[in-house]
Amino acid sequence: MSIYSRFIGATAAVLLVVSPVFAASDPTYTALRAARPDGRTIAVSNLAFDRDVYHFTLNGTLHLLAPVEGKTSGAVFRGQGTYTLTPVMPEEKRTLAVNAGEQTLTVLSDTFDSAVFFDTALLAAAEQAGGAPKAGTAAQEATGVFDEYLRHQKKDLHTNLHVRLLRTLLNQSPAPEPLFLGWVKSKKYPAAFVAVDPLGAESLGLGVTRLGGEQTLMYSYDDRKGGFWYLSHLKRELDQRKADVYAAIADGEHYVIDTTIAPNADISGTTTITFTNGHDGTRVIPLNLFSKVRLKDAAFSPVGDTPQWTPVAFIQEAQEDDADAAVVFPSALKRGEKYLLKLTYAGGKDVLQNAGDGNYSVGARQSWYPNVGTFDDLATFDLTFHMPQKMQLIAVGEEVSNTVAGNDRTAVWKAATPLRVAGFNYGKFKKLSQSDKESGFTVDVYTNPGTPDIIREINQYLEAASENRTNGEIGDGYVGPSHVRVDTASLAQSAMADGVNTARTAKAFFGTMPQTRVSITQQSQWFFGQSWPQLIYLPYLAFLDGTTRNTLGLNGAKDFVDEVGPHELAHQWWGHSVAPKTYHDEWISEGFSEFTAGLVLQQTGGWPRYNAFWERKRQGINERSRGAAMPNNEAGPISQGFRLETWQTPGAYDAIVYSKGAYILHMLRMAMQDRTKKNPDEPFMAMMTDFATTYAGKNVTTADFQHVVERHITPALKLTADGKLDWFFQQWVYGSTVPRLTQKLDVADAGNGKYRITGTIQQSEVTDNFAVVVPIYVYFDKGSWARLGALTLIGNKTENVNLELALPRKPTKIVANAMHDVLTK
Ligand SMILES: [Zn+2]
């Protein structure tokens, strides 16, 4: 999953990795990493233990791992084991059932004959029940199981769980509870990692940000069925409706990053992080760093006038294995104290990839520099780049200087306002700049002047298509004129228009932004756009006009092309200014950006284009994606975020978080419209501006948003006496019901300029309390229309419509929900 990006098609990067194994230099880590079954065993008979929602029973033998610093951290189990996982929340029950491929599943149970457990409490209980460990020689079968586990950790999980284990050994901060971590070779379901981590699932380093401090998980790394089958707060917390989130171990405040880009585009550099240590007695801090950027040196110093550098050990396994980086301090850091951490690295292959004719695509966008957190941890940045003189670079923040000496160019960029992540685009660029008075925004568009491979490819297709046309080999459909050729400069205008249109729309609906400049840069990846603070990466495809797309046979990509630019620009508001706190709130970034793209379409194509946008979204939400076992809307609620994407429900993440998330805002907009005002959207705009302003630079939850909507609640939304919107958010964001509306409406001339409207509107396929407010629209000739009023339907119900009213002329039809005011099946 890529953050703030928009994909279509599957274009997963394949990483080719070749590198020597790099040894860690901390002795405790080295011993921990080497620990294997050492011959000590404990026999267990009906040993039962509970870890949050898990219940295990073991009959067999625990083969203890060699102790490290006198402590045994884990054991291999061989024998007959069983476990059950009983989810607490209904949405977790649903997600588990979907992942298991069993619609009616409520408890997951399985058996196993091999497992590895890291759990000191389990070892203590086993000793109490089965007696002190018996010494002996390590059983081959136990060593074999351990090696199998380690192979999965390295080759499938690519996550160094030993870093997490090292933290339990070296970090002195008392965790609220001991760590439970296991690998279970299940028989019925795919083998999986199971854990109850008091520090939150993110502490295990499973490569996903914003897990929200949820402690209990089941993670499958199966090729097809992999993912978080279960991820939740502790049952105890859920029962009390109060969840704890453990503070981040380090809070990054300022980054000084000095990067050298070699003529072959390898990167090397030094990053100095100013951070506040979050826990007492910290010795191990994990880092985010792309596996091919190899650490060479690390040192730390307290923050002071003159840094006093002390060497720091570091961990980074071979790049093709579990290469997560971490630093190990020689002594414990104090909580709340500020430190500098200086990291030197080299050999960064494949951060930049040659895309032809002096153009490069930038990979590893979140981890090209070592960091202690992106997206939820804001920091300021000083960025210096050294590169060949003929090359250019556009980074986040503002360019401070750009100097050339001989064959070398040095560019300095500075982000004085805290950002969520640093990034850059690299290549040869031509700049087009426009300061838009109406929005107060300056849009810089950077295009590649050369002919990158992708443009060459596009033109080859175009030539082939036009030759085929001359030969009469192409059947139906209009094929573009044979002289159509694409060059990158002609694409800049379209990006500029997207930039200016989005800035204007966003200013009107969401208010002004602290930043008033954005750089739109071209990148040579098809079907993929991404937004970084003040820096947008757009695919060339986003700039192709309709004729060219048609010639290329890319008409299916039309919607993507129309929406990707505004969507990525909208992330400057939603995602970079106001950001979701956890993955449950991800729709506040993706859905809000998608909604903004809809508003931009309305600006350029009026209500018909806006309405067509929602019809497309509606269909996407209700449809069954290719290869899916069920329609997208049945995958689960918006609040399940990225976990909606499973082997059973491919496409559901996009349909629900992006499209249904956007629909939530559209439904609020329509419900909040006040037709007595010159601008009916005024209440909605005031609410959105309040939200964007109140939470600028902050991380927000869905509940924060609900409270802002409640501050601006309009009569149409006041369905409950308390004036709250629990009913709305419960059914649409935390629920997955989509109602079916059936209407049968007729209009008859009642004489004297009056018309009688009769018929029924029915809501079905909903739960008893499911409430909708359905407006009725009247259409006249030439496509003009008006809204007559609205009907409230609660539960499965049929309402009769019977009203007589004066209309200026004879209506052509009466339609309820004509503006997609309510999401329906
Ligand atoms: Zn996005």
Amino acid 19: pLDDT: 37
CA of 623 from ligand 1 middle (Å) equals: 21
**What is the rounded average pLDDT for all residues in the chain?**
89
Average pLDDT for residues 323-348, to the nearest whole number?
A: 94
CA of 660 from ligand 1 middle (Å) equals: 14
Q: What is the pLDDT of residues 96-115, one digit of tens each?
A: 999 999 999 999 999 999 99
Amino acid 363: pLDDT: 79
Average pLDDT for residues 610-623, to the nearest whole number?
A: 97
CA of 8 from ligand 1 middle (Å) equals: 12
- Going by pLDDT thresholds of 50, 70 and 90, the confidence category of residue 21 is very low
Q: How far apart are CA 405 and CA 586, in angstroms?
A: 45
CA of 568 from ligand 1 middle (Å) equals: 6
Q: What is the pLDDT of residues 34-62, one digit of tens each?
A: 999 999 999 999 999 999 999 999 999 99
- Is residue 134 scored above 60 in pLDDT? yes
CA of 13 from ligand 1 middle (Å) equals: 19
CA of 576 from ligand 1 middle (Å) equals: 11
Amino acid 130: pLDDT: 87
Question: What are the angstrom distances between the C-alpha of 28 and each of 150, 151, 471, 746, 799?
Answer: 18, 21, 73, 80, 72
Amino acid 482: pLDDT: 39
Amino acid 11: pLDDT: 32
CA of 297 from ligand 1 middle (Å) equals: 36
Q: How far apart are CA 814 and CA 745, in angstroms?
A: 6
Between strands 379-388 and 250-261, the pairing is parallel
Average pLDDT for residues 357-362, to the nearest whole number?
A: 75
CA of 528 from ligand 1 middle (Å) equals: 10
Amino acid 522: pLDDT: 79
Q: What is the pLDDT of residues 723-746, one digit of tens each?
A: 999 999 999 999 999 999 999 999
CA of 362 from ligand 1 middle (Å) equals: 18
- To the nearest 10 degrees (0 to 180), the angle between helices 587-622 and 702-711 is 90
Amino acid 91: pLDDT: 95
Q: What is the pLDDT of residues 237-289, one digit of tens each?
A: 999 988 877 778 899 999 999 999 999 899 999 999 999 999 889 999 999 99
CA of 569 from ligand 1 middle (Å) equals: 9
Q: Percent of the chain beyond pLDDT 90?
A: 73
- DSSP code for 71: B
Amino acid 174: pLDDT: 64
- Is residue 679 scored above 80 in pLDDT? yes
Average pLDDT for residues 128-135, to the nearest whole number?
A: 93
Q: Percent of the chain beyond pLDDT 70?
A: 89
CA of 797 from ligand 1 middle (Å) equals: 37
Q: How far apart are CA 789 and CA 787, in angstroms?
A: 6
What is the chain's alpha carbon radius of gyration, rounded to the nearest angstrom? 29
CA of 4 from ligand 1 middle (Å) equals: 4
Amino acid 545: pLDDT: 66
φ and ψ at 140, to 5 degrees?
-60, -40
CA of 533 from ligand 1 middle (Å) equals: 13
Amino acid 526: pLDDT: 63
- Is residue 633 scored above 60 in pLDDT? yes
Cα-based torsion angle of the residue sequence 139, 145, 150, 151 in order, rounded to the nearest 10 degrees: 120
- Is residue 463 scored above 60 in pLDDT? yes
CA of 2 from ligand 1 middle (Å) equals: 9
CA of 561 from ligand 1 middle (Å) equals: 14
- Is residue 475 scored above 80 in pLDDT? no
Amino acid 245: pLDDT: 79
CA of 567 from ligand 1 middle (Å) equals: 6
Amino acid 779: pLDDT: 93
Q: 396-400: long-range contacts (C-beta < 8 A, 24 or more apart)?
A: 396/421, 396/422, 396/423, 396/424, 396/532, 396/533, 396/534, 396/535, 397/422, 397/533, 397/534, 398/517
Q: What is the pLDDT of residues 204-243, one digit of tens each?
A: 988 667 888 999 999 999 999 999 999 999 999 999 988 8
Sheet strand arrangement including 282-287: 282-287, 325-333, 313-315
- Is residue 524 scored above 80 in pLDDT? no
CA of 531 from ligand 1 middle (Å) equals: 7
Q: Which is higher by pLDDT, 319 or 463?
A: 319
Average pLDDT for residues 336-363, to the nearest whole number?
A: 85
Average pLDDT for residues 509-524, to the nearest whole number?
A: 85
Amino acid 460: pLDDT: 72
Give 409's strand partners. Answer: 387, 404
